Chain A
Amino acid sequence: MKKILAAGIVALAIGAMALPASAATSVQTVDATLGSTLAMTATPSSTVSWTLASTGANTTSGGSLTVNSNAPYTATVTADKTKMTEWITASSAYASSPKTLSTALSVSGSRSAGTAAVAGVGATAVVGTSTSLATGTGLGTDTYDVTLSQPTLITDSALPSGQTYHIVLTYTASATF
């Protein structure tokens, strides 16, 4: 009798514990935010010693840019000088009264690889301020091959040994707004 009573109490206790779970309806709201993110890598420039022809269109590879984003982005290129400018190699500085090439450098981006469903689009930027080099819709990776073009004229001055024409390009990736 005691055993039956004990079993009954245990069964009731279990039932009592299980009852609220089966009778109540629990609503769990899950909200999640996913922040915009942007990454870029640039391969080193291959233009360590760019030998320009005295006249004509000189082109060389400027390496590549790979952009990885989950939102639309814009890649721009800016330069520290209007045109390639006389540089003293020994002092790693521009000449005090520098010569410059007569034509501006242009930089073009051409998409060569990537995983983005809608491929990014490259553009040609003449050295200037915030000139668009590429735009993409994001949601993956876009790789752009960068080509540098520096036209020269016979009126451009040759430089002595230890001096080069020099420029600093800054690539900036930002979200499109």
Chain B
Amino acid sequence: MRREKVILTVLASALLAVPWPVRAQTTGAVGLEITPSQTELDLPGHSYETTLTLFNHDPVTYKVDLSLEALGHDLDGAPEYFPSSVVSNAFSLSATSFSLAQDQKKQILLKGAIPAAAHSIYFGVIAAYARPDQQQGSSVETRTRLGSEFLLRGPKPWTQRLQITDVGVLPGTGRNATLYAIAKNVGNVHVRPTGTVTVSKNGRRIARFAFALNAAHKPGAIIPGFARRLTAVWTPPADLTGTFTVTATTQNPAAAASKTVSFRNGKALAPDAKIVNLSVQNSSGVVVDSQVTNVGTGALTGAKLTFVATQDGRFERGRMVFPIASLAPGATVEKRWSPGPLPDGAYQITATLEQGGTLLDQRVAGVRVGAALTSGARTPLLAIAGVLLALVLAVVLWFLFFRRRDEDREQRAGSRAV
């Protein structure tokens, strides 16, 4: 009996002592996890560093590759990432390629500074990861990425300026209509505007709505140089017919614009077309392919599709305008542009679809021409090391020179004495 007790005690102790695997995260955690997923800060200076954590919850070993890319967004606010030498020169990561088994985590140091001439920087740390069987042998290969976004503003003063480039109404589903304003950030830091849109006739207000928020109590962000569609859904009266004035007003920062729109029996009479595809490839020169589809109920006439190639989002290196004379409802037209030789660098290709003064759609894609530059965040360290090395060499040479001179003097003095 006593022996049994001893055995049970030993077994219990062993059970308690064995480091059984424990899932460190909350129930339901899956996949590869990145923390933080978004960082929005107003910095007291230009320098910034933080630690990102990657945690693998899946029962596979992921090969993870990290990269830094510029952050932008499409008209509807979906994040877009582009290669950017500005970002890769400004920030660096302590590791960029590693494997993570289940329940393993890795902490990565992100370090750098907003460029001296800039007031803000917007980028993503992109974690591309794949399980061993994910990328091979399929007619449709799938790859997966997580983005950790950084919206960093440097010290004030900032220029917070918004320009409403278009206002209008789009036919929505059923009896709904979507009132919208295209707001472009022409300042030097990101903004989160709120605002309203009104519909009026001969100065009499018919409807007034606040623009939809991105999340509870949080208006969507607009990054400098990018435009975002602020929207409000309206169900107009079924007999609404005629011309009306749509006025959009924003706060933080303030902007306003108006436009005349038409309705017939409650249905908005407006063109509605989408850039359903924008693909940029660089093989023996950059080639841009795009498709435009008329998703409205009437023919799209007098539209144009404009491609602009911008190096690092700052320097325009090419532009092409394709007129779209007429496009039937539901029809699609394809356009291809080869901008010709471009200097090595990171490029944003912006496709803008317009009809008259109406901006129908806009998309941005990125491409890199030539090899990626090595991170410039280490350049100052290399420079310091170079200067130190030069100083050491100079001291050694100086020392050898004087020592040799002293030896010669001593030798000459010795010879005279003899």
Q: Which residues of A contact B (CB under 8 A)?
A: 35-42, 44-45, 47-50, 62-63, 66-69, 71-74, 76, 79-82, 84, 87, 104-105, 115, 126-132, 137, 140-141, 148, 164-177
Contacts and interface: CB of A to CB of B under 8 A. Distances in A.
A163 B279 CA distance: 23
B189 to A, nearest CB: 14
A38 B214 contact: no
Contacts of A171: 142-145
Nearest to B28: A141
B364 to A, nearest CB: 7
B29 A175 contact: no
Contacts, number: 190
Contacts of A165: 139
Nearest to B349: A129
Interface in B338-381: 363-365
A76 B78 contact: yes
24 contacts: A36-B38, A37-B33, A37-B37, A38-B146, A38-B148, A39-B146, A40-B32, A44-B133, A47-B140, A48-B139, A76-B78, A81-B281, A82-B279, A104-B277, A126-B276, A126-B277, A127-B277, A128-B278, A131-B78, A169-B141, A173-B147, A175-B149, A176-B214, A177-B221
Residue from the set B30, B134, B363 with the largest chain A CB neighbour count within 10 Å? B30
Nearest to A103: B332
Contacts of B32: 39-41
Given A79-B279, A169-B140, A174-B79, A40 B214 contact: no
Contacts of B80: 129-130
List the 9 shortest-distance A-B pairs measured between CB atoms, nearest first: A41-B31, A39-B33, A38-B37, A175-B38, A174-B147, A82-B279, A128-B277, A175-B37, A37-B35
Given A39-B29, A39-B32, A177-B151, A45 B276 contact: no
B76 interface: yes
B172 interface: no
B31 A66 contact: yes
B169 interface: no
B229 interface: no
Given A41-B30, A130-B79, A171-B145, 16 more contacts: A36-B38, A37-B36, A41-B31, A68-B31, A68-B33, A72-B215, A76-B78, A82-B277, A115-B28, A128-B279, A128-B363, A130-B78, A130-B364, A173-B145, A174-B124, A176-B79
Q: Is the interface of A mostly helix, strand, loop or mixed?
A: strand
B99 to A, nearest CB: 16
B277 A72 contact: no
Contacts of A105: 140
Interface in B260-299: 275-279, 281, 289, 291
Contacts of A49: 139
Contacts of B57: 39, 41
Contact of A129 (B142, B215, B363): B363
B300 interface: no
Contacts of B214: 72, 176-177
A130 B78 CA distance: 7
Given A128-B275, A129-B365, A130-B74, A166 B141 contact: yes
A136 to B, nearest CB: 11
Interface string B190-219: 000000000000000000000000110000
B73 interface: yes
B37 A36 contact: yes
B278 A129 contact: yes
Interface string B137-172: 111111111111101000000000000000000000
Nearest to B143: A170
Contacts of B139: 47-50, 84, 87, 164-167
Contact of B36 (A35, A47, A67, A79): A35
B103 interface: no
Nearest to A41: B31
Contacts of B30: 39-41, 66, 68, 141
Contacts of B28: 68, 115, 140-141
